[in-house]
Amino acid sequence: MSVKTMRCDEVRLLLMSLADGALVGARAEAVRQHVAGCARCSEELAQLAADAELLRKEEKPEVPAYLGTRIMAGIRGRQAGARPWFGLSRAMARVAAVVLVAVGVWLGTALARGMVGPQQSLTDRLAQVGLELPNGEDQ
């Protein structure tokens, strides 16, 4: 935006930023140059600066003692709470717990159905149906 093309209504929006010190760089310079040649905007800037000065008279709030320490204590507490199992994150620990339960259920069911555990020898199973193996073939 060049100085020549800036109108009062365009400058007006930026005057308060200039008064607050929030306008920087080329835009600040362009507004300053417009104000230097415009009595109305110059008066407006003086008024805005006076308002800003009044607002700045408000006392700075007192920061509560040990606020920073309490913030860090809270963060360290959450961090510790987030690693309940051998350094795993909470989400990973949940997944591990679900997998363990599922394996336990499957193992229990499999044992009950005889899918897992000591197997009957071939000789015993053939004997149950009245057959027997020739000598030495059940090795």
Partner 1 sequence: MSQNDDRQLGERAQAGDTSAFDELVRRHHGPLYCYLYRTCRNGADAEEMTQESFVKAWEGLRGFRGAASFRTWLFRIATNLCINRLSRRKPVDPLSDDVPAARRDEPAETYRQRQLKECVGAALESLPADQRSALVLSIYEELSDEEIAEAMGRSLASVNSLLYRARMSVRQALAGARSRGFV
**Which residue, among 32, 40, 31, has the nearest Cα to 1 in the 3D structure?**
31
Helix (H, G, I), strand (E, B) or coil at 18: helix
Helix (H) / strand (E) element for 97: namely helix 90-113
Candidate residues 2, 79, 135, 139; the one interacting with partner 1 per rule CB under 8 A: 79
Work out whether 58 is an interface residue with partner 1 (CB under 8 A): yes
Out of 46, 71, 95, 99, name the contact with partner 1 by CB under 8 A.
71
Whether the CB-CB separation of 129 and 114 falls below 8 Å is answered with no
Give residues 21-50 in contact with partner 1 (rule: CB under 8 A): 21-24, 47-48
Check: CB of residue 10 under 8 Å from CB of residue 34. no
State the minimum distance, in angstroms, from the CB of residue 111 to partner 1: 43
Among 5, 57, 113, 117, binds partner 1 (CB under 8 A): 57
Packing angle, helices 39-56 and 8-20, rounded to 10: 30
Please identify, using beta-carbon distances, which residue of 72 and 107 lies nearer to partner 1: 72
Determine the Cα–Cα distance for residues 43 and 129; give it in Å rounded to an integer. 113
- Is there a contact between 11 and 38 (Cβ–Cβ < 8 Å)? yes
Find the binder of partner 1 among 4, 37, 39, 55 (CB under 8 A): 55
Residue 19 CB, nearest approach to partner 1 (Å): 8
Smallest separation (angstroms) from partner 1 to the CB of 81: 12
Contacting positions for partner 1 (CB under 8 A): 12-14, 16-17, 20-24, 47-48, 51-52, 54-61, 63-64, 67-68, 70-72, 74-76, 78-79
